[in-house]
Chains A and B, each alone.
Chain A
Amino acid sequence: MKAVLGTTGLVLNEPLLWEKGKKGRQGYSLPRAQVPQADIPPDLAGDGPDFPDLSEVDLVRHYTRLSQWNFGVDTGMYPLGSCTMKYNPKINEKLAAIPGLAAAHPLLPDILCQGALQLMAELEDFLAEITAMDAVSVQPSAGAHGELAGMLMIHAYHRNNAEHRTKIIVPDTAHGTNPASAALCGYRPVPVASNDQGILSLEQVQAAMDEQTAGIMITNPNTLGLFEENIRAISQVVHGKGGLVYCDGANMNALMGIVGMGQIGVDIMHLNLHKTFSTPHGGGGPGSGPVCVKKPVEPYLPVPRIVRAENRFHLSEDFPLSIGKLHAFYGNFGVMIKAYGYILSMGGDGLKRASQLAVLNANYLRQRLKGILHLAYDRMCMHECVFSDKHQRPLKVTTLDMVKRLMDFGFHPPTIYFPLVVNGAIMIEPCETESKEELDGLVDAFAAIAKEAAENPDLLKKAPVNCKVGRLDETAAARNPRLTG
């Protein structure tokens, strides 16, 4: 085996911000005042917040040290299932920082922001083409916000048809935010189990679907990394009872240029620009979660919408059936710029190639890892595959122990204990931007860990040892919450 990536590095300690600094220091300078001090009523004036005073050097050391305790895609492979941790091209950041775009104010007259509107309009066109849907709104700020937009549209659609439906079908292989988004619209999620092939069977949806049910929220490919093969028949059943099909498109990275979501019965779907379209994840956002719809749902899209007239772009509120606004302005434009740049960098062929290689990488790992870890569903997968700790459980070694040890080998752990349908799940999504050598390295690391599990499980229980801190006590954190310093 080749030398492992993980090693102990030069990791420096760093106190909390307010444990540093000295009153009177400043990391910011204002020009001299040119206007007189104005009176302020004494009942309004406060003492100012208790912030530490730091110099610019204090700040730079502080955050540079903190950054070195983080692991990102730029550090190494980050096979976090369903999160699509692909490489984030550096030009994305440069594009979003172009002064005229970064400094654009959102409430200028349309005529003064044509460039920004054009970018958003073209991005909506690109996303409509990629999904084979009819219309797009880029307003939702994240995937879960896109889900909420979708649920609100389903609600508005039924209301406009003078119907009040109370339930929505949510398979057990759907993303965790799906039921919460549905609940926000007053829908009671009706869980439906996947079959022994890891997908939904038509019969189960038939049994659950009725005229009180607003529709179905389906994740495709699902969180087991499997394509919902019965989607067309399922859609027909849902449509037959007057419902709508919502597709969580978080896993679109498997399907670009391969499947037209608009042709398989999906009425509404969201995309995650921070996943499929390479804008970075930023440690948990900002993201962007555009919603794509078919014609019958188009009138319900959020406003304002960008419309073209006489070679100009306008923001229009003239959509009386719209669900309204979801964001104070138009969504996360800075993120849209990056996705737009990515699509132009890749072109149509490049996007298809990305999906093909994402699926190749996942299947290669599936094949090579299945002798080492238990494979939950032994069949071809899409962009991710799910293993479990079943083989290690008799050794009293868990998924958590194995992935903590994986850190010492220089890899970010996969998603664990999700989806819930697989006990002790280890959900691996390698992404197309990882090379064969990286994948082989991950296989070697898991092989070594499985061997350690059998021979010296203590190594796993004590892992990680190469990180800034060892295993952290999450129970104590929740029992005695300490949320500020």
Chain B
Amino acid sequence: MRYLPHTQEDIDQMLGVLGLDSLDALFSTIPSDCRRSRPLDLPDAMTEWEILAHLEGLAGAVAAAPGYKLYVGAGSYDHYIPSVVSHLAGRSEFVTAYTPYQPEMAQGTLQGIFEFQTLVCRLLGMEVANASVYDGASALAEALLMAIRITRCPRVAISTTIHPLYRRVVQTYFRPTDYEIVELPYTQRGLTDVTLLKDSDRFAAVAVQSPNFFGCIENLAEASARAKATQALLIAAFTEPLAYGLLKNPGSLGADIACGEGQSLGIARSFGGPGLGLLAGKLAHVRNMPGRLIGQTADTAGRRGFVLTLATREQHIRREKATSNICTNNSLCALTAAMYMAALGRTGIKQLARRNYDLCAYLRGSLESAGIRVPFDAPGFNELVVRLPEETYARLLEKKIVAGIRIGRYYPELEDHSLVCVTETASKQDIDQLVKELSS
């Protein structure tokens, strides 16, 4: 086996040092009724090329470009990943290290994540960002729990325009607790109806997603005002952080916590994971924030360096009193996102976000001209809800065009609708072709 360096001579010598006569003797402390009675029934070891061929076969049974035209977003977006990002994120010094417990030997990871925290704060207009959580859904769940810890109020209000799968993860996290979830409905424009929040209500948090699940850009300033009136924190969730290359950021609109999915920032879709859970907030709340944090310090000679910090929030010190059980998170994805943000720069992210916005507006205009109904008129970022009968959707599938995802299973009132997404990887010709197929 190519990963195992031991020769028989090595094994004999090592067993000799231990005074043992076989490898089996190493396991003598394990009672016999705990031992397996039969060997592992797994496929025989395969060569690299056999495995590669096998997985390429499996990949062939997945619909992807270029064979298929996919107009699918809903929390997992097709953005071009520059070669420089994949190349640098693949450097094995980053890939094969672990959590930087020993900072002198991990300054690469540490500086890289410190830079990540900074870029995330600048993107979202927040003061502190952690070193990542698992995905957008767990980021929302952790943000809500954080708000409950801060306010000591056991109720949260969550918009129904938040990604429906994120809301299900929140339900899972909340199920063993007594915390109450109140859902906020949406208006005919496809935006959260925050007017239902009365001044007399008390919530730990009001959570709104922008751009929301329908692609519509929410009025976060209004949500913030209503949240403040109920003494709640405003949580601004997102599935598409690229939008903040163009839009006012959540911090400037009054968000206390911003959380969401960072997959758009240079990370492959990979059937939904690994993505990148982003969680950012205010410095005043840092001690209630879950997850790891990197801070700047100096060494004995006064040179700048970085360390894991505020560890007193963590499990190995406070065990059951820790702010969360987050330990391993998505560090390499965070580093990748920092590389992507740095590759774009301010100039690039503004252009790219603009392009996504313009393409979506063009799609909307083309659909409306073709007489296809787009039910929500609020401005959208790179996806929108389109009325699309099931038979049309099925007809396009046969032509290897995936016209968004069906959303009736999440919103029964929107049966016969798809959520359709276009990013910079779609050309004008692609969109024209899609609209033509839809209207024929």
Q: List 18 A-B contacts (CB under 8 A).
A: A35-B358, A48-B245, A95-B55, A100-B60, A104-B271, A105-B76, A105-B272, A106-B272, A108-B63, A141-B135, A142-B327, A176-B315, A184-B176, A281-B99, A282-B333, A285-B274, A347-B45, A364-B17
0/1 string, B61-80, CB within 8 A of A gives 1:
11111001010101110100
Q: Does A155 contact B (CB under 8 A)?
A: yes
Complex CA gap A36/B402 in Å reads 25
- Whether B42 contacts A129 by the Cβ 8 Å rule is yes
- Whether B349 contacts A49 by the Cβ 8 Å rule is yes
**A49-B244, A179-B319 given as contacts; is B325 within 8 A of A119 (CB)?**
no
B145 CB to nearest A CB, Å: 8
- Whether B4 contacts A69 by the Cβ 8 Å rule is no
* CB contact list, A63-81 vs B, under 8 A: 63-64, 66-75, 78, 80
- CB contacts (< 8 Å) of B299 on chain A: these are 469-473
Categorize the interface residue count of chain A: 35 or more
Name which of B103-111, B188-196, B199-207, B227-235 contacts chain A. Answer: B103-111
- CB contacts (< 8 Å) of A386 on chain B: these are none
Which of B26, B175, B427 has the most A CB atoms < 10 Å from its CB? B26
B150 CB to nearest A CB, Å: 17
Complex CA gap A132/B35 in Å reads 11
B51 CB to nearest A CB, Å: 5
- CB contacts (< 8 Å) of B78 on chain A: these are 103, 105
Name which of A18-26, A200-208, A445-453 contacts chain B. Answer: A18-26
Name which of A236-244, A290-298, A318-326 contacts chain B. Answer: A318-326
Q: How many A-B residue pairs have CB under 8 A?
A: 678
Q: Which of B59, B61, B95, B115 contacts A16 (CB 8 A)?
A: B115
Q: Does A436 contact B (CB under 8 A)?
A: yes
- Whether B14 contacts A347 by the Cβ 8 Å rule is no
| Chain A interface, >50% SS class | loop
Q: Does B350 contact A (CB under 8 A)?
A: yes
Q: Which of B33, B62, B107, B328 contacts A100 (CB 8 A)?
A: B62
- CB contacts (< 8 Å) of B100 on chain A: these are 283-284
Complex CA gap A65/B18 in Å reads 43
B428 to chain A: closest residue by CB: A34
* CB contact list, B260-282 vs A, under 8 A: 261, 268-275
Q: Does A96 contact B (CB under 8 A)?
A: yes
Q: Which of B63, B245, B286 contacts A483 (CB 8 A)?
A: B286
Complex CA gap A263/B331 in Å reads 36
Complex CA gap A89/B1 in Å reads 12
B90 CB to nearest A CB, Å: 7
Q: Does A335 contact B (CB under 8 A)?
A: yes
Complex CA gap A182/B121 in Å reads 31
A256 to chain B: closest residue by CB: B40
Q: Does A87 contact B (CB under 8 A)?
A: yes
* CB contact list, B276-307 vs A, under 8 A: 283, 286, 292-301, 303, 305-307
- Whether B61 contacts A118 by the Cβ 8 Å rule is yes
- Whether A70 contacts B94 by the Cβ 8 Å rule is yes
Q: Does A183 contact B (CB under 8 A)?
A: yes
Complex CA gap A335/B95 in Å reads 12
B225 CB to nearest A CB, Å: 14
0/1 string, B19-41, CB within 8 A of A gives 1:
00001001111110111110111
Q: Does B182 contact A (CB under 8 A)?
A: no
Complex CA gap A105/B272 in Å reads 7
* CB contact list, A183-237 vs B, under 8 A: 183-186, 188-189, 226-227, 229, 231-232
Q: Which of A86, A132, A280, A476 contacts B297 (CB 8 A)?
A: A476
- Whether B273 contacts A49 by the Cβ 8 Å rule is no
0/1 string, B392-433, CB within 8 A of A gives 1:
000001000010010000000000000000001001110100
- Whether B30 contacts A483 by the Cβ 8 Å rule is no
A280 to chain B: closest residue by CB: B95
Complex CA gap A455/B113 in Å reads 39
- Whether A324 contacts B30 by the Cβ 8 Å rule is no
Complex CA gap A44/B211 in Å reads 11
- Whether A30 contacts B351 by the Cβ 8 Å rule is yes
**A71-B105, A115-B60 given as contacts; is B361 within 8 A of A282 (CB)?**
no
- CB contacts (< 8 Å) of B315 on chain A: these are 176-177, 179-180
- CB contacts (< 8 Å) of A264 on chain B: these are 33-34
Complex CA gap A52/B61 in Å reads 41
Q: Which of A71, A286, A344 contacts B332 (CB 8 A)?
A: A286
A141 to chain B: closest residue by CB: B134
A408 CB to nearest B CB, Å: 10
- Whether B41 contacts A348 by the Cβ 8 Å rule is yes
* CB contact list, A84-135 vs B, under 8 A: 85-89, 91, 93-109, 112-116, 118-119, 126, 129-130, 132
0/1 string, A36-49, CB within 8 A of B gives 1:
11111101111011
New contact pairs (5) apart from A60-B88, A484-B114, CB-CB < 8 Å: A18-B118, A44-B379, A69-B108, A88-B96, A100-B64
- Whether A63 contacts B91 by the Cβ 8 Å rule is yes
- Whether B134 contacts A359 by the Cβ 8 Å rule is no
- CB contacts (< 8 Å) of B96 on chain A: these are 72-75, 78, 88, 280-281
Complex CA gap A136/B125 in Å reads 41
Complex CA gap A297/B248 in Å reads 47
- Whether A380 contacts B93 by the Cβ 8 Å rule is no
- Whether B5 contacts A71 by the Cβ 8 Å rule is no
- Whether A283 contacts B97 by the Cβ 8 Å rule is yes
Which of A30, A182, A283, A346 has the most B CB atoms < 10 Å from its CB? A283
B293 CB to nearest A CB, Å: 6
Q: Which of B163, B261, B301, B350 contacts A48 (CB 8 A)?
A: B350
- Whether B94 contacts A282 by the Cβ 8 Å rule is yes
0/1 string, A49-62, CB within 8 A of B gives 1:
11111101001101
Q: Which 5 residue pairs across A and B have the least CB separation, nearest first?
A: A329-B272, A100-B59, A106-B272, A282-B332, A347-B45
- Whether B18 contacts A144 by the Cβ 8 Å rule is no
Complex CA gap A38/B75 in Å reads 23
Q: Does A434 contact B (CB under 8 A)?
A: yes
Q: Does A1 contact B (CB under 8 A)?
A: no
- Whether B269 contacts A51 by the Cβ 8 Å rule is no
Which of B249, B315, B429 has the most A CB atoms < 10 Å from its CB? B315
- CB contacts (< 8 Å) of A373 on chain B: these are none
Which of B23, B78, B94, B102 has the most A CB atoms < 10 Å from its CB? B102
Q: Does A474 contact B (CB under 8 A)?
A: yes
